[in-house]
Amino acid sequence: MDNYRKVLLKRFIAQEKKARWAIDSFQVTTLEELLDRATANVANQFKNSISVLLLTEEDYLVIKSATGLDINKVEHKRIPIGKSLSGRLVKRGEPKLFSDVSRITDTLDDNLEPYYCGSMISTPLVFNKKVIGLLNVYLPVPSEPFSFDDFNIVITYGNQTAFAIESQRLVDKRTEELKEAQARLVKLNEQLQQDIEVRKKVEEQLRKAEEKYRMQFEGALDAIFVGDAETGIIVDCNPAATRLVGRGKSELIGKHQRILHPPEEIEGELSKTFRQHLKEKQGQTLETQVITKTGEIRDVAIRANLLEIGGKKVLQGIFRDVTENKKAEEEIRKSQKVLRDTIDAMPFGVMVVGRDKKIKQANATARQLTGYGEGELLGQLCHQTLCPAEENNCPILDQKQTVDHSERKLITKDKREIPIIKNVVNLKLGNEDVLLEAFIDITERKEAERKLKQLNKYLEDTIAKLDRANNELKDFVYIASHDLREPLRKISSFGELLSTSLKDKLNDDNKENLNFMIDGAKRMQQMIDALLTYSRVTTKGVDFETVDLNQVVEELCAIELAVKIEETGAKIVTPERLHNVNCDPAQIRQLIQNLIANALKYQKKGAVPEITIRSSVADNSMVRVEVADNGIGIEEQHFKNLFVMFRRLHSRREYEGTGIGLAVCKKIVERHGGNIGVSSTYGEGSTFWFTMPKQEMRVKNEELQASIVS
């Protein structure tokens, strides 16, 4: 800028010097003044003269100044070049002296016509061979015309004026240019000032940024090493860097960067990561290891960028110690493996499903149940593969249901549906929310349930049949008791009457036949009575109450069984006091009576019966009562048939009986929810036992027992 200014000034001063000379002679400062002075000067030379100065402007000649004439009154100040007198004179470019201008005919169209009445001198204003205007001088008052000397004076004035005009124009132009240049300079100066301000600000910002960077650099938690990109020499590092490798700053700066890494991380002169970051991994994070001063190996992640500082290329690496993270990751990896192995070994199906409904893991049992191979299930959508749920209709993720021990279906690879019981829990595996689904195949259980249902149905049918049979039996008993007993009684009593009245008239065979008939009718009556007793166990049973068995035995021996005991000389003992039981008093009496009566009856001829009665506490709040004898005993193969109605092991000739006593015992025991059985040694004696509810147990199970018909 300064140079330009100097050149401009120099040129201007040279030109100005020349122009000043011309202008100074007029002692004016502007072109207008100069023109006025020029016409005034010329007019002063000639008494009563008028001078007019015209300048060319493109195709016109314009009146600019006049002396002796008010140009404001001139109507047309612009004269076309080539037309009228002045127009032609300027075109011709030569000075001209007219003695009497009014003689010139074509002056009429000239604006100066009123003054064309005397002598006139017109001289072109020429500068550098170019006509720039016209100086006209008139002597309008009739007098002496202009002389030749006058003509020369005007020409000289014209030349001087032309030079002065151009000089003034040049000065004006230069002044204008100077002004412009100055204005430009001012503007440039302002610009420069602004630039300086901006630069100052930028420098300030840079300084602050540098300070900030320094602070961050020094205070960073991550280690930062700056190494020369060409040589690998460490040029800077922060306190965290010294802590990471356990070396002071002085032990690091100026050393080669490879001292930071263990040998296996070095490749040639540089560390592998330094090389990679320089080549193509700029700005990326690479994992490697560093070695501390004491030889400890640490895992680090390095992100590095290539920078230019003071024209030097450096690699700035930010090292983050990830040793603990790695350890933690390893721990997580291990525990995840343990979890996976555990899941895999579980005896029930287990699947891990992501929130995206994709299967992440399926254990061996799950694969075995579904028929998929290892890896075939991973990444599959669970609702399309294993669960019959439709898309976007997952019971857990979409319908927000809980699946807790719920019965569901599992689709196998061959599109079979198998019933399962399923538990689903939300679980966090690592950072991920997953569903842990556990399930067991319940096909067998379902089958068992189906069979159980069948069995129940069969049981219900059987009970219905038994009910029907029971009712039929009741009907039969009714008929037997009311309708059969009377005719039978008549047969036996009329038979006995006949036997008495025909006593001497019948031969021995007929007598015997008649006795058979009477005996048969009596037997029939006994059997019907026994049957009625059996039937009444359920139909005539009363509410249970506490019964003292000692008293029962005592009374039986004293009343119902007294005759037989006396006949046989039997010994009946109860070594310990018998327990109280909760039962129907008449029925327990009947039960014990039947057992003692059998013990008395089934004896070897002439033997003295010895009967022992004991009781003990049994399971399920029951009392076990045993009646042991020293009788004939029973072979084991007959044990189970003894309690069946009308089953007898001996003929009536050997031992009298109807074969219904033990059946009645069984029915009584079962009505009370107990059991009855026998143990025996053939030829030595038998022990009949039964169980009855204990005294404190007050169960009204009549209805239950009523449905059980032997």
Q: What minimum distance in Å lies between the beta carbon of 572 and ligand ADP?
A: 13
> What is the Cα–Cα distance from 630 to 522, expressed in whole angstroms?
31
Of the candidates 16, 584, 629, 670, which one interacts with ligand ADP according to CB under 6 A? 629
Amino acid at 391: E
Is 648 a binder of ligand ADP (CB under 6 A)? yes
Nearer to ligand ADP, 234 or 676 (CB): 676
Say how many CA atoms lie within 13 Å of 659 toward its Cβ: 13
CB of 581 to ligand ADP, least distance (A): 21
Q: Which residues contact 105 (CB under 8 A, 6 or more apart)?
A: none
- The yes or no reply on residue 420 touching ligand ADP (CB under 6 A) is no
Least distance from C-beta 604 to ligand ADP, angstroms?
11
Residues near 559 by beta carbon (within 8 Å), at least 6 away in sequence: none
Q: Is 531 in the site for ligand ADP (CB under 6 A)?
A: no
Of 112, 632, 668, 692, the residue at the interface with ligand ADP (CB under 6 A) is 632
CB of 656 within 8 A of CB of 600? no
Instruction: Decide: is 658 part of the binding site for ligand ADP (CB under 6 A).
Output: yes
Q: How far is the CB of 631 from ligand ADP (least distance, A)?
A: 4
What is the nearest approach in angstroms of ligand ADP to the Cβ of residue 473? 18
Among 598, 615, 630, 691, binds ligand ADP (CB under 6 A): 598
Binding window for ligand ADP (CB under 6 A); candidates: 130-138, 158-166, 213-221, 661-669 = 661-669
Draw the binding track, 504-523, toward ligand ADP (x: CB under 6 A; -: no contact). Answer: --------------------
Instruction: Count other Cβ atoms within 10 Å, centred on residue 681.
Output: 12
Distance CA 706, CA 463 (A): 12
CA 704 to chain centre: 59
Q: What is the dihedral of CA 621, 627, 632, 634, to 10 degrees?
A: -10
Minimum distance from residue 539 beta carbon to ligand ADP (Å): 20
Q: CA 642 to CA 659: how far, in whole Å? A: 9
How far the first Cα of the chain sits from its last, in Å, is 135
User: Which one of the spans 80-88, 331-339, 448-456, 658-666 is the region binding ligand ADP (CB under 6 A)?
Assistant: 658-666
Instruction: Retrieve residue 589's tokens.
Output: 């009496």
Is 118 a binder of ligand ADP (CB under 6 A)?
A: no
Report, in Å, the least distance between residue 704 CB and ligand ADP. 25
Q: Mind giving me the DSSP string for 339-388?
A: HHHHHHH-SSEEEEEETTSBEEEE-HHHHHHHTPPTTTSTT-BHHHHT--
Q: Which is nearer to ligand ADP, 34 or 599 (CB)?
A: 599
Strands lying side by side in the sheet with 622-628: 571-573, 610-618, 622-628, 685-693, 676-681
Q: Which stretch binds ligand ADP (CB under 6 A): 194-202, 533-541, 648-656, 702-710?
A: 648-656
Q: State the nearest-atom distance from the C-beta of 685 to ligand ADP, in Å.
A: 8
β-pairing verdict for 545-548 and 571-573: unpaired
Q: Binder to ligand ADP among 495, 609, 631, 673 (CB under 6 A)?
A: 631
Specify the stretch interacting with ligand ADP by CB under 6 A; choose among 32-40, 181-189, 473-481, 660-668: 660-668
The least CB distance from residue 534 to ligand ADP, in Å, is 10
Phi, psi (deg, nearest 5) at residue 267: -135, 105
Which residue in the set 439, 602, 689, 690 belongs to the binding site for ligand ADP (CB under 6 A)?
602
Q: Which residue is nearest to ligand ADP (CB)?
A: 657
Q: How far is the CB of 597 from ligand ADP (least distance, A)?
A: 8
Instruction: Give Cβ neighbours of residue 355 (< 8 Å, ≥ 6 apart).
Output: 397, 432, 433, 434, 435
Q: How far is the CB of 549 from ligand ADP (least distance, A)?
A: 19
Q: What part of residues 669-688 is at the interface with ligand ADP (CB under 6 A)?
A: 686
Phi and psi at residue 69, to the nearest 5°: -160, 135
Q: How many residues bind ligand ADP (CB under 6 A)?
A: 19
What number of other Cβ atoms are within 10 A of residue 141's Cβ?
11
Name the one range near ligand ADP by CB under 6 A: 54-62, 73-81, 148-156, 654-662. Answer: 654-662
In 3D space, the residue among 598, 593, 591 whose CA is nearest the CA of residue 649 turns out to be 598
The CA distance from 408 to 56, in Å, is 113
- In angstroms, the CA 212 to CA 479 distance is 120
Give the nearer residue to ligand ADP in terms of CB position, either 408 or 667.
667
Beta bridge partners of 289: 299
Shortest Å distance, C-beta 590 to ligand ADP: 12
Please give the order of strands across the beta sheet that includes 60-67: 78-80, 60-67, 50-57, 130-139, 119-127, 96-98
Amino acid 437 reads E
- Closest C-alpha among 249, 271, 262 to residue 315: 271
- Mark 551-590 with x for binding to ligand ADP (rule: CB under 6 A) and - for no binding: ----------------------------------------
> Binding to ligand ADP by residue 477, rule CB under 6 A?
no
Write down the least CB distance from residue 465 to ligand ADP, Å. 25
Least distance CB 684 / ligand ADP (angstroms): 11
- Using CB under 6 A as the binding rule, whether residue 662 contacts ligand ADP is answered as yes
- Which residues have CB under 8 Å from 92's CB, separation 6+? 124
232 phi and psi angles, rounded to 5 deg: 80, 10
* The one segment of 184-192, 461-469, 503-511, 643-651 that binds ligand ADP by CB under 6 A: 643-651
User: Nearest approach, Cβ of 474 to ligand ADP (angstroms)?
Assistant: 21
CB 357: neighbour CB atoms within 10 A? 21
Interface with ligand ADP, residue 640, by CB under 6 A: no
**Piece of the chain touching ligand ADP by CB under 6 A; list 149-157, 330-338, 548-556, 644-652:** 644-652
Look at the block and give the residue holding tokens 């979409």. 398
For ligand ADP, which is the closer residue by CB, 607 or 704?
607
Which residue, 34 or 625, has its beta carbon nearer to ligand ADP? 625
Binding ligand ADP (rule: CB under 6 A), the pick from 354, 419, 520, 659 is 659
- Is the CB of residue 238 less than 8 Å from the CB of residue 220? yes
Residue closest to 527 by CA, chosen among 657, 641, 709: 657
Point out which residues bind ligand ADP (CB under 6 A).
Answer: 598-599, 602, 629, 631-632, 634, 642, 648-650, 657-663, 686
